[in-house]
Structure 1
């Protein structure tokens, strides 16, 4: 009799854990195709969960490093923990943590905002950002933000990583999404591919926002399946065309160093 009660209790416990896990995952999914920052009220509306449940879940997910809470905005966004889980699923195990010091050093040396992005469907999802500690200039670009593939240096660098059999269908999808602007977008995209072939990086001036310039390089890491790029961006007055070229030339060896460091980390991990 006692054993029967224990089995029922275990089953109820597993059911409760499963329900909590399901709700937590559904809450994270609510951030897909949504603004970067969401309040508890936004999440209640998106998930139809009771407000106390949402409040409890967001606190727990923040404690786990899966959500980040901004006291200024009083809202949550996806945190690096989610990006790292996604990176692991795509084969990018350990990539971010292993290269973080190199990227931060680059950002400080060149006084730029640096971002790592990964291909996510028909968008470029920002995985991590690095701000120079020597400048007050920052951009409203944070982990979890999705940039368009067409018309941005980050997106063009990502597309340049793809084999032709994957790139062409995706370009076709982008053409359908941007029918009116497509001739100009396609022209800029083709020019960017040529620039990557020629220099190892591609530039964009005022394409994301009219006063923001950027330069990006693809990350060709054969040991990682994730399609990624690294970009430097900033206000046009701080990154005029001549500086974009200078930073771009420095960005190429950084991209190569990042892939070498990631390969070393992966080899060490496999050796264990």
Structure 2
């Protein structure tokens, strides 16, 4: 905080955004004690900031006495998704220029994955995802990539809340198997969806590093075109695009 004061930052504003980001990162709902513990701010400060954020509509109090993200954040969310789409599209198009297949940007939004930007592939075939679509993380490559920074306990809790609906014969419905694939993604730097969301569609995804919002870039296409060789060549292109996007987002 001393650095923020020296650079002209307003401490209370910085702390308010810290609290909002913590609530968002913890599934959208947190108690005051947990907020104090994770932020390092004293409880009186937490009380004051939370009361202000509730008054402004950016937080709301649940019957459980915990605090959830408020409806006024939707105004910011709409604008931020438009900005994110604008910033991401050039990077996604460069992946399409290199690999030819449809490329997407997705974000972790609560317990779901939301697709926020897309560059269509160069082939004449329908899109397998579209901007605005929301899906469960357990059946997508982007979901596996996005949950790479989550603990095993957090992943199990998320899966328990949302369930693991079977969409195809290949959908993962065992939490242990899903967690093993998330760990594999961490180790090798990319995740795969082998027809787990849609039959005949293969997808590869990498996480966008060092961003406050969890983002992932993916490339998807029909299995005959998404060969092992194409996936292998696409991973470094996706990784480069993700790093460039992270740099643009600052």
Q: Give the C-alpha shift of residue 239 in structure 1.
A: 0.3
Name the counterpart of 1:234.
Answer: 221
Q: Given that residues 150 and 185 in structure 1 are in contact (C-alpha distance below 8 angstroms), is that contact kept between their aligned partners in structure 2?
A: no
Residue number among 151, 159, 171 corresponding to 2:147 in the alignment: 159
Q: Give the C-alpha shift of residue 143 in structure 1.
A: 1.0
Q: What is the TM-score with the length of structure 1 in the denominator?
A: 0.56
Runs of 4+ off more than 4 Å: 163-166, 176-179, 181-184
In structure 2, do the counterparts of structure 1 residues 87 and 231 end up closer, same or farther at CA, with 3 Å as the change threshold? farther
Q: Given that residues 151 and 188 in structure 1 are in contact (C-alpha distance below 8 angstroms), is that contact kept between their aligned partners in structure 2?
A: no
Name the counterpart of 1:99.
Answer: 88
Do structure 1's residue 131 and structure 2's residue 120 form an aligned pair? Answer: yes
1:96-141 Cα offsets, whole Å, 9 max, x none, are 3223212112112210111111112322111111113x32233142
Name the counterpart of 2:242.
Answer: 255
Q: How many residues align?
A: 175
State the secondary structure of the residue aligned to 2:139.
coil
Residue number among 143, 147, 157 corresponding to 2:131 in the alignment: 143
1:123 & 1:168 partners in 2: Cα distance? 14
Do structure 1's residue 121 and structure 2's residue 116 form an aligned pair? Answer: no
Q: Give the C-alpha shift of residue 201 in structure 1.
A: 0.8
Q: Cα RMSD over matched residues? A: 3.0
1:3-37 Cα offsets, whole Å, 9 max, x none, are xxxxxxxxxxxxxxxxxxxxxxxxxxxxxxxxxxx
- Correspondence list, 1:145-224, <5 A: 145-162=133-150, 166-174=154-162, 176=163, 178=165, 184-222=173-211, 224=212
1:241 & 1:87 partners in 2: Cα distance? 37
In structure 2, do the counterparts of structure 1 residues 213 and 84 end up closer, same or farther at CA, with 3 Å as the change threshold? farther
1:69-92 Cα offsets, whole Å, 9 max, x none, are xxxxxxxxxxxxxx9942656xx7
2:76 & 2:190 partners in 1: Cα distance? 28
Q: What is the TM-score with the length of structure 2 in the denominator?
A: 0.60
Q: Give the C-alpha shift of residue 163 in structure 1.
A: 5.2
Gaps of 5+ in 1: 1-82, 264-272
